[in-house]
Amino acid sequence: MYQGAPAADLVVSVLLDVAELEFRVKSLYEKLLDSKMTRWDEAKTDASNCIIELAEFFSGAKVLARKIKDDNLQKWFDSIAGEVRKLAYTEPVSAGRKIQQLINALEEVEQFHQFDGILQTKQYLADTRSHLTRMVRIANVQESFLASFEVVSDISYAWGHIINAYTAQMHDRIRRDPFSTLKLRCLFLKLKSIMELPLLRISQCNSGDLLSVSEYYSNMLINYVRMVLEVIPRTMFETLNVIIQVQTEKLKELPTRLEKDRLREFAQLDERFQLAQATHSISAFTHGILAMEQTLLGVIKIEPKKLLEDGIRKQLVLRISDICHKELVFVQKEVGMFSTRIVELDFQQCLHNVATQLAGFRRSFEYIQDYVNIYGLRVWQEEFQRIINYNVEQECNTFLKKQVPDWQSSYQSTSIPIPRHKPLDGDSSVNFMGRLTRELLRQTNPEKTLYLYPLSGWFDYEGKEVVGIRMFALLKESVGVLGLSGIDKLLCFMVVHRLQQLVTLLRSPKLESTWKDTVRRFHAQVEPLGGLPEAGIALYEETLSKMPKIWGAFLTTTAFLGQAQLLRRQCSVELSSTCKLDSNSLSCALEATNTALLTDIQAHYKNPESKPYPEASPILPEVAKYLTTAGIHNPISQIYITTDPLDDLPVLAFLFTLTQLPKYYVDSHLSVLAPKGRKSGPSGTLDCCPLVIGVLTLLRQFHSSHTQTFIQYMAQYIRVLLQPAKGGGSNDQRSPNSAFSVETACAIQFLEDLTRYGQIAREVVQMYVPPFVIDHRD
């Protein structure tokens, strides 16, 4: 049987066979112990009945052959039957001696001449001796044998390096014969001996740690079982690669109508045979592990189906994480002979590669779900969600003071771990979710792109779309709805981080003392905001010249806030449309729930005494999660931070806007504020749309009156520019085909963009700026 086998394989084969033999012997002996009393009573009854029948035969009352009567034999057999009935199960030693004497007596009586020629009586005597012998054997079945058996078969010495040295051979044996898992089950049960000695000592001293120690050693055993049986899902996924290749590259899609002559071409018998062969291999492995019965290792019960599903989930997590980690790389180093240069990869091609690989993997995984007896789509969605959420959580740790370590993450698991890849060289991101989000920010850089609201996309200076609706659709195909939701969450953390940095900077004592006096003096000179300042446009120029150099940080932060908000807005649009297409019922239910909750909140503010605020209800945070994932929210109106009031913020935001407006002109064709010199290439001026949204986001972190005050400052500035006497000079350059100066048109366009993105009613602006001014700016 073992001829020609290597030494390690021979040891494994012998070990498995011995373990199986020991398991069967132990199971048989335990059954004998459990049925010992029943078997004893049956054998005693059978022996007694045989002797009674012999007694009846010699009484002449019962005929076995020819009629013979012998009173002495009758009395002797009756006494023997009485002795048999007196045999006690609880006294095996004395019972065994008496049984041996009875057997000897029956052998001696068989020599009497009355038994010569009567085969039936001899047969009865033989049967009686057989039953008595059986009783002796049953009496010798003692529980002490199990203790000796456990000592002899103890394998606790092999735990650790010895048994681990043969794990690879066990894997090879399972690959060759999936049904060898039945013998492995016997080995696993044999390994339970490692628990006996520690638990024996603990139980003897009546320690309360018995349960915890039992769980510890049971988990050790189960982890080893998982490690041995892990080869089954690993081999299944290696076979799954063949299925993926056949389904994605070789099999042609069958058309609705097919010509008879092309039937053989689309039959693809060789490819389908290869697919069937791979499928059969997977089903054989599944059948092998499912053939194992439920096994109790210590205090934990092992379910074969649960082990198989956990192994499949583990391999699935490893494969998905590996694809995302390797493919979502957008910068590559090329090492030359004399230098190393950084090469930027095609963003769209990277997303396409991920989408293609994950789609083929998912399709093949759903194909084999019936053969492995699991719900493939549910497993895929649960594990993909766990991967995305875990990577987003670890990426967000860089923005948190109290970070969530890997071992404390609610998305991490010991049995199905999510791999933690090392960050790529020269990359500030922790994992692929950070790289993907930062690449989106790089692709939509306000210095190189222009956001067009009607087209919902970012365009370069040559008019080519860089990122738009099609790119976000491809993004959804690659990382799915959960990936888009993860990008949205990560952008939220980035926005919060930038807002906190800017607020901290503005509140720093050294900087605050330099700009506060200037801002308050300016505020006093322009009051009331419904009128016009006496100094006219010169007041604004003088104030800007006295302001400290804080506009660099202001510009960087507001541009990033606006860029992140636009990306979040685009993500919400894609999520919302996907939700309506894939599950319109869910979308309608969420919108109805959201409307109902908002109605309750509004009713509370109208009548606080009778209508309590629903903040204590657990439904609010849960609905908020669903709404965010379904894209039913407006990121621009969201409040990201809670901080103390910053009363001078509207004036600061207004003065910052004045420093940026001269850099733009109104593009009547695109209806946007375009950077000057944009047609000749990058001018170093940022796209104005992110600045507008960034200023709006900053204002909305505070009381709503800040936004109202900012609009009043802008409206007053526009009215000052419209003055014939004080609006001339260097600022009186007229926009082509416009009755207003370029600076006036830019201010009006900025204010209009602010109201559009902020969903502010047009009537609010018309309270401070005449309607004909806004309508006839072009």
Arithmetic mean of pLDDT, 612-631: 82
Arithmetic mean of pLDDT, 406-431: 85
- Per-residue model confidence as pLDDT tens digits over 157-209: 677 677 777 778 877 887 777 777 777 777 777 777 777 767 777 777 777 77
* Number of separate domains in the chain: 2
pLDDT-based confidence at residue 4 (cuts at 50, 70, 90): very low
pLDDT of residue 258 exceeding 90: no
Determine if the peptide bond prior to 198 is cis (ω within 30°).
no
| Residue 737 vs residue 618, higher pLDDT | 618
* Across 90-99, 171-180, 623-632, least confident range: 90-99
Residue 215 vs residues 76, 218, 219, 414, 483: alpha-carbon distances, Å: 62, 5, 6, 15, 37
Average pLDDT of the chain is: 80
pLDDT of residue 497 exceeding 90: yes
Residue 234 vs residues 183, 241, 373, 740, 762: alpha-carbon distances, Å: 20, 11, 17, 72, 62
pLDDT-based confidence at residue 730 (cuts at 50, 70, 90): very low
pLDDT-based confidence at residue 579 (cuts at 50, 70, 90): very high
- Per-residue model confidence as pLDDT tens digits over 467-477: 999 999 999 99
pLDDT-based confidence at residue 390 (cuts at 50, 70, 90): very high
Is 417 a domain residue?
A: no
pTM: 0.78
Arithmetic mean of pLDDT, 532-546: 84
Distance CA 554, CA 544 (A): 14
Is 236 a domain residue?
A: no
pLDDT of residue 727 exceeding 60: no
Show the beta-strand stretches assigned E in 383-479: 450-452, 457-459, 465-467
pLDDT of residue 494 exceeding 60: yes
Arithmetic mean of pLDDT, 288-308: 70
3-class SS letters over 532-579: CCCCCHHHHHHHHHHCCCCHHHHHHHHHHHHHHHHHHHHHHHHHHHHH
Token pair belonging to 177? 């014969």
Arithmetic mean of pLDDT, 520-529: 84
pLDDT of amino acid 490: 95
Q: Long-range contacts of range 756-760, CB-CB < 8 Å, 24 or more positions apart?
A: 756/453, 757/636, 757/692, 757/693, 757/696, 758/636, 758/637, 758/696, 758/700, 758/707, 759/634, 759/636, 759/637, 760/707, 760/711
Tokens 């010509």 sit at which residue?
259
pLDDT of residue 110 exceeding 50: yes
pLDDT of amino acid 616: 63
pLDDT-based confidence at residue 12 (cuts at 50, 70, 90): low
Is 113 a domain residue?
A: yes
pLDDT-based confidence at residue 222 (cuts at 50, 70, 90): confident
pLDDT of amino acid 162: 75
Arithmetic mean of pLDDT, 633-658: 88
User: Which of 84-93, 110-119, 191-200, 496-505 tops mean pLDDT?
Assistant: 496-505
Distance CA 70, CA 59 (A): 6
pLDDT of residue 122 exceeding 80: no
pLDDT-based confidence at residue 3 (cuts at 50, 70, 90): very low
pLDDT of residue 502 exceeding 60: yes
Give residue 742's domain range: 470-775
- Per-residue model confidence as pLDDT tens digits over 323-357: 999 999 888 766 555 556 667 788 999 999 999 98
| Residue 111 vs residue 490, higher pLDDT | 490
pLDDT-based confidence at residue 427 (cuts at 50, 70, 90): low
Last residue of a domain, one of 87, 114, 149: 149
Q: Concatenated DSSP letters for 94-141?
A: HHHHHHHHHHHHHHHHTTSGGGTT-HHHHHHHHHHHHHHHHHHHHHT-
Token pair belonging to 566? 């636009």
Is 503 a domain residue?
A: yes
pLDDT of amino acid 676: 83
pLDDT of amino acid 697: 93
pLDDT of amino acid 345: 81
Last residue of a domain, one of 100, 128, 149: 149
498's enclosing H/E stretch is helix 469-506
pLDDT of residue 11 exceeding 50: yes
Arithmetic mean of pLDDT, 422-443: 86
Last residue of a domain, one of 149, 172, 202: 149
Distance CA 362, CA 81 (A): 76
One-letter amino acid identity for 480? G
pLDDT of residue 450 exceeding 70: yes
Arithmetic mean of pLDDT, 147-151: 68
Is 496 a domain residue?
A: yes
- Per-residue model confidence as pLDDT tens digits over 652-702: 999 999 999 999 988 888 888 888 876 544 556 888 999 999 999 999 999
pLDDT of amino acid 337: 52
Distance CA 301, CA 288 (A): 19
**% of the chain residues with pLDDT over 90:** 21
Tokens 């980690």 sit at which residue?
325
Is 591 a domain residue?
A: yes
Token pair belonging to 304? 């074969």
**% of the chain residues with pLDDT over 70:** 82
pLDDT of amino acid 321: 93
pLDDT of amino acid 422: 87
pLDDT of residue 711 exceeding 50: yes
Arithmetic mean of pLDDT, 564-591: 92
pLDDT-based confidence at residue 573 (cuts at 50, 70, 90): very high
User: Which of 47-51, 236-240, 300-304 tops mean pLDDT?
Assistant: 236-240
pLDDT of amino acid 731: 47
Is 156 a domain residue?
A: no
Alpha carbon 38 to chain centroid, angstroms: 55
Is 620 a domain residue?
A: yes
| Residue 503 vs residue 84, higher pLDDT | 503
Arithmetic mean of pLDDT, 361-384: 85
pLDDT of amino acid 239: 81
